[in-house]
Structure 1
Amino acid sequence: MPVTSAVSAARTILTRLHDVMASRSHAQAKLNTVVEVIGEGLDSEVCSIYLLREGMLELFATKGLAQEAVHVTRMGVGEGLVGTIAENIETLNLAEATAHPDFSYRPETGEEKYHSFAGVPIVRRERAVGVLCVQHAESRRYEEVEIEALQTVAMVLSELISNAGLVDDEQTALGPQQTGPVRLPGLTLVKGLAMGTAVYHQPRITIEHVMAEDRDAELQRVYLAFDKMREQIDRMASQAEFGVGGEHEEVLQTYKMFAYDEGWSRRIIEAIDSGLTAEAAIERVQQRTRMRMRQIDDPLLADRMHDLEDLSNRLLRIVSGQMGTAASQGLRGDTILIARNLGPAELLEYDKRRLKGVILEEGSLTAHVVIVARAMGIPVLGRVRSLRGVVRDGDLLLLDADKGEATVRPIDAMIEAFDARFVKSKERAAAYAALRDVEPFTRDGTRITVMMNAGLRDDMPNLALAGADGVGLFRTEFQFLVSATLPARERQTRLYRDVLEAAGDKPVVFRTVDIGGDKVLPYLRHNDGEHEENPAMGWRALRVALEREGLLKVQARSLLEAAAGRTLNVMFPMVSEPWEFDAAREVFENQRKYLKAQKKLLPEAVRYGAMLEVPALAEQLDVLAPRLSFLSIGTNDLTQFLFAADRANPKLAERYDWLSPSIMRFLKRVQLSLAGHPIDITVCGEMGGRRLEALALLGIGIRRLSITPAGVGPIKELVRKVDLPEITEAMNQWLSHPPASLRDALAQWAAEREIEAD
């Protein structure tokens, strides 16, 4: 069937369907006419409609199969070809139906004489409410245009069937197992407990009108929406204040590619030509994209299809006039936010008093939104699948990010048990808070320095609340990540000055901007624009800053001006070799000389440090040591580099163990190599905030930790229970003769001394 014929056939069918459903006939009579209309329009020998009733797919109407099978033939979701289509929300196009592994023969239908089969799901609000299928006696695959005509008709049917009350409502369709409690496993991104009602970050847009009354008006609406969307994308690309030729990040290139893709826009226009409204046409093409996404194994291609999905959502919101997220509407009570993914700026838009937790369909340990959430004290659970099919807006959710799970629609007993755990965690938090003004001395009298990590101006009150000794790591890149353009020097200076004033007489270590890798900026990207297969080991951090020296110069001047009259502690990330440290230090010293010549007030002293994240640097610490004031060990990146294991990959999670003898031996060797040098050695990152890991670090000689504010109290409590000579002796023995599991051995050692490991 030619394209024009398919479009014409779809339009004719839709016109006739509108008349059928507008008639006063009862529902069954309407469906009987519908299959005749579709069968004739597509020149099909068989046309059948199966609808979801009481959790089963029931044959409701057919042209070509035995009429005795209507309301008799039923199959479960996932059973047979029809059930497979509904379960996977996918299209099947088979030249020989019996050859498919899910084929299930129903003798009462008389379908044995038909060979070819094509079926599409009837989708309503992202769930299958039925299946529309056609069959022919001859063995052949259906043309793409025929399948598209079926999909267009199925979309209209979804509205008409739903309005006629012929299918289970959304509550019933979820099934008994999904109207009661449902446990959702996921990946712990930020620990914590939270209870609240489910709110989707992007409220679902319900398409109220599927069939168009004025084709030209719908085309005009979609043309205007395309123009507005393209203007938005172009504006994002042109907002760069830094970089060669207004460069932008690679995902923006992909967005532009899709935004101007003629094939995508043509499919939407064809759907409007067939009789759909602009919203329905976009959704119709989007459904096709989702089906294709489910069939893609290649992660790069899948990412590209996700980009197209995002762009479709943007276009749909523009054409419907519903541009806001849940943040713009305001949260009405304790909320668990649900999203596919989030950016840090989006998270910061929400009312912190009411946002209690976040659940993501995707998400990774390295995402900067996770770092922001951790700083805000908001638990986050990631990689939770099928949220849309299980969780509704307003459902009660228990989020247990400590255990890596969430419970939807809990029963009273579950809520009581959760409340008990929540109360216990609050009591424990209160006990830790009581240690705020207590100095962390070990049992043998050694003072341990416990500092906190920060990255936002709003983090600074935690310095006093947690009782930390200072800020051991201030991540300056957050200001860059939440900004649409490169932050001006004045803005940077104002932030750094505010942070130093909030810290008072406590030290703050500023890490120069660590962008690239997982922290992409829309206004800055690599010169050649090539996709990086391993971004964590690519063009990022100090490598970016040294290549784009203007970026580092602006930040250097901002920090120097902000620290006037104080001591400035500045640290360079991802140093691989001494020359990189020297080059970055020279940028600061040159700016220092410039400010001095301008008679500007300067810091009383500048202390320079390096992040040890790249293992290669450990082999040249003796060369660098004379120029270092301090060294911060970034255990997050260091560990994945040592193991060659991406910590965001769930398949490698078990190999990413900080208590591996390999890691501990490496860290001990680093600590010993700097013995005798007046260099402060600090372990920064998540490792130092875990009690068992912190215990091991104390045992190998680490005396300074920089961790999340929430971890300060628990670590101070741990320190006061530790006898350093005893744990040092135990660690020396274990590292000399590693046990089968260092983690288990250390946990047992702690339990014998009544030291809680968690």
Structure 2
Amino acid sequence: MTATAAARTILTRLHELMASRLHAQGKLNQVVDIIGDSLDSEVCSIYLLREGMLELFATRGLNQSAVHVTRLGIGEGLTGTIAQNTQTLNLAEAATHPEFQYVPETGEEKFHSFAGVPIVRRERAIGVLTVQHVEPRRYVEVEIEALQTVAMVLAELITNAGLVDEESLGGRSAAQVGQEVLTGLQLVKGLGCGQAVFHQPRIVIEQTVADDTEAERHRVYQAFDKMREQIDQMATHAEFGVGEEHWHVLETYKMFAYDEGWSRRINEAIDNGLTAEAAIERVQQRTRQRMREIRDPLLAERMHDLEDLANRLLRIVSGQLGTAARTGLRQDTILIAKNLGPAELLEYDKRRLKGVVLEEGSLTAHVVIVARAMGVPVIGRVRNARALMRDGDQLLLDGDSAQVIIRPGPAALEGFEARLARSREKQAAYAAQRDVEPISRDGQRIEVMMNAGLVDDTPMLGLTGADGIGLFRTEFQFMVADTLPSRERQTRLYRDVLEGAGHRPVIFRTVDIGGDKVLPYLRDAERGAAEENPAMGWRALRLALERNGLLKVQARALLEAAAGRSLQVMFPMVSEPWEFDAAKAVFEQQIAHFRRHRHRLPDEILYGVMLEVPSLAETLDTLLPRLSFVSIGTNDLTQFLFAADRADPRLAERYDWLSPAILRFLQRVVGTVRGSPVRLGVCGEMGGRRLEALALLALGIRRLSITPAAVGPIKELVRRIDLAEAGEAMQGWLAAPPADLRGVMARWAEERGIEVD
């Protein structure tokens, strides 16, 4: 019998059985007979998950007295192994398998061959379907496929009959009921507690057996057409840009989308009697099985592409489109996703979003930059996160240690709540610093400003008591848009930020894109190929000066938004003085244009640079007469000084911000600027860490621009320091650097009652 004929025969009889009024146990008793007859199998058994154990619910061929008596744990014996791994077993001689376990009450000692498939609901095993023969032999592929197809239908019957525990229906296996700890990559620090919500809600297939095969086939054809149309639009849309990397991704997607083998397998599943949704899921299960067996990382990645496409096709055919953001968050939430774009993250209610767990993600991903600005902790590269969690699971996200605790036990929950309480107490103490000026013990006033990139960030000025916005990242607007933002849109944003800031100053950094912040709609046609070292490539001011129109439009928008106000403009990644002069010339040209057309101009315009490229320090003295301020970008400066890519996790902790190399470099920059009217500051994560901030203040830095969450802690720190004493100590440390400068500084601070954790 062919696979199609066998499966079709079984499904036809199961369809009739499911429609009957027979009670659930009676239906299962008949199911094992139907399968046994159709596959000419001497034994057919069904085990279901009850109270965390796999219970024998129905059998043909084994002792009937074992029904509802034999129980196996998850991972126990061959049946338990199938449930634990959600994988098929096919053995000519069952006893040779290392997990084989003889169950005497079943009378199975005379049977040699064994095959079993998991009964899966919502990607988890809720039972196991097995067959056995006296004769030692491996089951042929058509028999295994028939069993797998039947298992899908059984999942629906079992669920509708309420034969498994609610925990299992919700997606938990016995092995997934208790606490579990997953570790990933720290992307954004912080603590978060909430319920798991999937960014792409899982689609639950409610009907597996088709009433009309041709109607189901027509639905799949329509879904394929729509999916292919979407991908073709992505590939041809001018605004998508398709740089070399994007092009290859889309070409792979197109290859799978038009793959006749994939569509043929789905059609064969429909021929077996499955609905369109069940057929897609059936083929997807086979893909997942293959993915587990693949060792080639490149091929595994391609199989992931097919998995993504299958999810897209399933959403189209079911009509269940959209993300969890569409329905809104109803409680404190930890968002679970394979990956996220910055625009997708911004769709969520920031008040309810307490953290994000990604299966992928990198330190320099756009979504990480936005999440940090939103104050949302993020952990990335958490393997199998979506498979190990279910909607509604309680999660504890520790962004500091890059761990997420699933279904925490009482002890873990109590400990985490204590940490949260301490964190909130500290935040409350820091919030009390809002109206307190950051004046050191020896009477020096420090400017503590905040970094921002969204209009929604401006209320944090009032909440934190920051002196202003020392770095407004204008590229955020470009990163979350599908097309290049128009001058009108840019003007509206900049005006809203200035109005939100009120009397406080705002320093706008011109757009810093390119490199690791690739905008798909700004493809560099001349350089098409991906850069080998994007961090030091065609990015920031280099790109903006070449694309003169980009900087010109931004200059007009800033000048128009700041009419009648003070405008402060900062150019990123200036390597030599002529780059600053060229960028300033673009602004001066637009100022001349405004004057000719009698447009209102800002009352004053102050220009500055970000010192990120070490070469600028060598000529900074010649540039100072044209500057109003200099802001040291410690993130990029560090990687350039050490030739260490900050996106490489192997190097992330290797080079210390408190290295004498960095501190001596900064000391030299402070010395160059000292005595001039130019304001010198630091914008970057270094200034937001208490011990590092202490070092910067000791070097003579008097302006820090940091994340809003760090403003309170740094203001409190300033009030504890005698800057003259700290400066003198720093001079000594850098003159003869100790082996462990960080440790020496920490002990120095501890002796003076300065908390620097």
The answer to whether residue 102 in structure 2 is matched with residue 106 in structure 1 is yes
Partner of 1:217: 215
Q: 1:15 aligns with which of 8, 12, 16?
A: 12
1:213 Cα deviation from its structure 2 partner? 0.9
Report matched runs for 1:59-458 at 5 Å: 75-79=72-76, 82-91=79-88, 102-104=98-100, 106=102, 114=112, 119-132=116-129, 143=141, 148-170=145-167, 174=172, 179=177, 185=183, 187-236=185-234, 240-241=238-239, 251-252=249-250, 254-296=252-294, 301-388=299-386, 391-402=389-400, 404-408=402-406, 421-458=419-456
Residue 10 to residue 731, structure 1, CA distance change in 2 (3 Å): farther
| Aligned partner of 1:468 among 424, 443, 466 | 466
> TM-score, structure 2 length as denominator?
0.85
Q: Distance in 2 between matches of 1:376 and 1:484?
A: 21
Identify the residue that residue 730 of structure 2 maps to in structure 1.
Answer: 731
Structure 1 range deviating more: 360-369 or 89-98: 89-98
* Pairing 1:541–2:537 present: no
Find the aligned partners of 2:371 and 2:138 in 1 and give their Cα distance. Answer: 54
Distance 1:683 1:22, change over 3 A: same
**How far off its partner does 1:491 sit?**
0.6
Q: Tell me, yes or no, if structure 1 residue 481 matches structure 2 residue 479.
A: yes
Calculate the TM-score normalised by the size of structure 1.
0.85
Aligned to 1:704: 703
The CA RMSD over aligned residues, in Å, is: 4.1
Cα separation, partners in 2 of 1:560 and 1:42, compared to 1, 3 Å = farther
Find the residue that maps to 1:610 and give its secondary structure: strand
Kept in 1, the 8 Å contact 2:571–2:580? The answer is yes
Q: Any idea what SS the aligned residue of 2:482 has?
A: coil
Letter in 2 for 1:202: Q
- Whole-Å Cα distance in 1 between the matches of residues 649 and 34 of structure 2? 50
The offset of 1:721, in angstroms, is 0.9
Structure 1 position 473, deviation (Å): 1.1
SS of the aligned residue for 1:123 comes to strand
Corresponding residue number in structure 2 for 1:558: 557
Structure 2 residue 509 is matched with structure 1 residue 511: yes
Query: How many Å apart are 1:132 and its aligned residue?
Result: 4.0
Shift of the alpha carbon at 1:674?
A: 5.0
CA contact (8 A) 2:243 2:530 kept: no
Q: Cα distance, 1:471 vs. partner?
A: 1.3
Kept in 2, the 8 Å contact 1:452–1:709? The answer is yes
| Structure 1 residue 37 displacement after superposition | 4.5
Q: Could you tell me how far apart the structure 2 residues matched to 1:490 and 1:268 are?
A: 49
Change (3 A) 1:25 1:467: closer
1:111, CA displacement in angstroms? 7.3
Report the AA paired with residue 442 of structure 1: S
Q: Deviations over 1:108-138 (max 9, x none)?
A: 57679857x7654321111112334567867
- The residue identity in structure 1 corresponding to 2:100 is S
Correspondence for 1:492: 490
8 Å CA contact 2:41, 2:132 repeated in 1: yes
Shift, 1:58, TM fit: 4.9
Q: How much does 1:723 deviate?
A: 1.8
Deviations 1:598-629 (A, max 9, x none): 44334455444333444555566567656554
Cα drift, residue 719 of structure 1 = 0.9
Aligned to 1:693: 692
Does the C-alpha gap of structure 1 residues 441 and 472 become closer, same or farther in structure 2, counting only changes over 3 Å? same
Deviation at 1:69, TM superposition (A): 7.6
> Hey, what's the Cα distance between the residues in 1 that align with 2:124 and 2:240?
45
CA positional deviation for 1:250: 6.0
- Gap change, CA 1:596 and 1:76, over 3 Å in 2: same
| 1:662–1:14 distance in 2 versus 1, CA, 3 Å | farther
Residue by residue, what CA displacement relative to the aligned partner does 1:681-735 show, whole Å, maximum 9, x if unpaired? 3322222111122112223333221111121111011011112233234334444
How big is the shift at 1:223? 2.3
- C-alpha separation in 1, matches of 2:405 and 2:248: 37
Alpha-carbon distance in 2 for matches of 1:411, 1:206: 28
Alignment CA distance shift 1:85-1:159 (3 Å): same
- The letter of the residue matching 1:281 is A
> How far apart are 1:15 and its partner, in Å?
1.9
Aligned counterparts of 1:515 and 1:497: Cα–Cα separation in 2: 22
Cα separation, partners in 2 of 1:334 and 1:76, compared to 1, 3 Å: closer
Aligned to 1:610: 609
Q: Please give the alpha-carbon distance, in whole angstroms, between the structure 2 residues aligned to 1:574 and 1:80.
A: 62
Q: What amino acid does structure 1 have at the position aligned with 2:3?
A: A
Deviation at 1:14, TM superposition (A): 2.0
C-alpha distance in structure 2 between counterparts of 1:531 and 1:157, whole Å = 49
Write the distance in 1 (CA, Å) between the matches of 2:596 and 2:699: 46
Which deviates the most, 734-743 or 171-180? 171-180
Instruction: Indicate if the aligned counterparts of 1:247 and 1:523 stay in contact, CA closer than 8 A.
Output: no
Structure 2 unaligned spans of 5+: none
Q: Secondary structure at the match of 1:633?
A: strand
Q: Distance in 2 between matches of 1:618 and 1:150?
A: 71
**Structure 1 residues 654 and 241: alpha-carbon distance in aligned structure 2, compared to 1, 3 A threshold:** closer
The answer on whether the counterparts of 2:124 and 2:172 sit within 8 Å (CA) in structure 1 is no
**Paired AA for residue 153 in structure 1:** V
1:222-265 Cα shifts (integer Å, max 9, x gaps): 22223333444445556555969999776555544444444433
Give me the whole-angstrom Cα distance separating, in 1, the residues matched to 2:434 and 2:280.
55
Alignment check: 8 A CA contact 2:242 2:520 kept: no
- Determine the C-alpha separation between the residues in 1 that align with 2:351 and 2:58: 53
Give the partner amino acid of 1:104.
Answer: F
> Conserved in 2, the CA contact under 8 Å of 1:592 and 1:602?
yes
Question: Any gaps of 5 or more consecutive residues in structure 1?
Answer: none
738-747 vs 689-698, greater mean Cα deviation:
738-747
Matches within 5 A, 1:621-640: 621=620, 628-640=627-639
Q: CA 1:416 to 1:59, structure 2 compared with 1: closer, same or farther past 3 Å?
A: closer
Rounded to whole Å, the distance in 1 between the matches of 2:690 and 2:562 is: 34
Return the letter of the residue paired with 1:15: T
Question: Corresponding residue for 1:749?
Answer: 748
The question of whether the paired residues in 2 share the 8 Å contact of 1:246 and 1:523 is answered with no
The letter for the 1-side match of 2:600 is L
Counterparts in 2 of 1:474 and 1:234: CA distance versus 1, 3 Å: farther
Q: Which range is displaced more, 174-183 or 377-386?
A: 174-183
Q: Deviations over 1:169-222 (max 9, x none)?
A: 425984677546555555554444444444333332211101111111112222
Counterparts in 2 of 1:306 and 1:724: CA distance versus 1, 3 Å: farther
C-alpha distance in structure 2 between counterparts of 1:97 and 1:621, whole Å: 77
The Cα of 1:592 is off from its aligned counterpart by 3.9
- More divergent stretch after superposition (193-202 vs 39-48): 39-48
Kept in 2: contact 1:442–1:721 (CA 8 A) = yes
> Are the counterparts in 1 of residues 243 and 528 from structure 2 also a CA contact under 8 Å?
no
Q: Deviations over 1:470-490 (max 9, x none)?
A: 211111121122222221111
Aligned positions of 1:523-534 closer than 5 A: 523-527=521-525, 530=529
CA distance in 1, matches of 2:664, 2:490: 39
Overall identity of the aligned pairs, in %: 72
